[in-house]
Amino acid sequence: MIYTVTFNPSLDYILRLDALNAGEINRAVYENILPGGKGINVSIVLGNLGHESRALGFIAGFTGEALEKLAGSHGVRTDFIRLSDGFSRINVKIKAKEETELNGQGPVIDRAAQDALFAKLDALQSGDTLVLAGSIPNTLPDDIYERIMEHLAGRNIRIIVDATKKLLLNVLPYRPWLIKPNNHELGEMFHTTLESDADIINHAKKLQEMGAQNILISMAGEGALFLGADGTTYKSPAPKGVLVNSVGAGDSMVAGFIAGHADSKGDFEVAFFTGVATGSASAFSEDLATKKEVDALLRQLGR
């Protein structure tokens, strides 16, 4: 079974405008409401690719109820923990000439709720996959990722971490099965600018020496790279298409990698190219990637 964790999920209110003018009334030409959060995005795309997962996290209030219902309508099997106070956040994504995001704060996650999450994680079995993705709300301990990985250590659970610089570096001693930085984040971890594929590969290998097993590196229009624990390295150009929506593209890449790995019985090359195609399919669409869109881009990549 595949599990995803989203500590602070949201209702994402998508607005498209011809132009955004501060201090004035702005009228949308397109709007949509989607279940938000990196782990939830992973679960949605996994479902689109034919793989069931269980989405864990915290919800509260009437927005939490709406979020759970909306996630279900997208095929997500949820097992959220309901908080007694507050409400799940609403994030406003404004797409005009530039993308602007207004993100809510979210509810307080108390110690009892944290304990409830760990109790749910105890249900994971050997061979399961756990995706930890996104930022940590300020009401949770800064080391919650490490606590989860330590709690599950020695149980043969594949843990994937998709997080920013400090969070990612802190989990490396726990040997995550897969991490997914982008090339800029990778350079920031080592306080340098990476100028070439060789630079990226050399610094990714340093992360492997620090504990990461497999590394998936997104490079926007330059494509992607993969370094496997078995010594394999793969590179792919970015598929051709028109960028419509960058939100969720990285999460989709993670979902595609997981799906490709499962479908191919553990072939990292298949997993990598499926991840690249899936991330791009979401970027080229108003919504998250579908199997039809992914298959079309795989053919474009010669796969």
| Beta bridge partners of residue 92, listed in sequence order | 13, 102
Catalytic entry in 12, 128, 162, 251: 251
pLDDT in tens, 92-134: 999 898 889 999 999 999 999 999 999 999 999 999 999 999 8
Residues 83 and 115 grouped into a single domain: yes
Q: Does residue 13 lie in a domain region?
A: yes
Q: Does residue 172 lie in a domain region?
A: no
Categorize the per-residue pLDDT at 71 as very low, low, confident or very high, splitting at 50, 70 and 90. Answer: very high
Identify which of 63, 83, 77 has the alpha carbon closest to the alpha carbon of residue 140: 83
Residue span of the structural domain in which 201 resides: 178-303
Distance CA 86, CA 79 (A): 19
Q: Does residue 208 lie in a domain region?
A: yes
pLDDT value of position 212: 96
Residues 112 and 206 grouped into a single domain: no
Q: Do 5 and 84 form a contact (C-beta atoms < 8 A)?
A: no
Categorize the per-residue pLDDT at 216 as very low, low, confident or very high, splitting at 50, 70 and 90. Answer: very high
Tell me phi and psi for residue 97, to 5 degrees: -65, -30
Q: What is the mean pLDDT of the segment spanning 237-261?
A: 91
What type of residue is 202?
A: N
> Exposure of 147 by Cβ count < 10 A (0-12 exposed, 13-18 middle, 19+ buried)?
middle
Categorize the per-residue pLDDT at 57 as very low, low, confident or very high, splitting at 50, 70 and 90. Answer: very high
Instruction: Enter the pTM of the model.
Output: 0.92
Residues 85 and 129 grouped into a single domain: yes
- Residue 197 annotated to the active site: no
Distance CA 218, CA 196 (A): 14
Residues 250 and 125 grouped into a single domain: no
Q: Does residue 203 lie in a domain region?
A: yes
Whether the predicted pLDDT of 302 surpasses 90 = no
pLDDT in tens, 18-55: 999 999 999 999 999 999 999 999 999 999 999 999 99
Say how many domains are in the chain. 2
Categorize the per-residue pLDDT at 76 as very low, low, confident or very high, splitting at 50, 70 and 90. Answer: very high
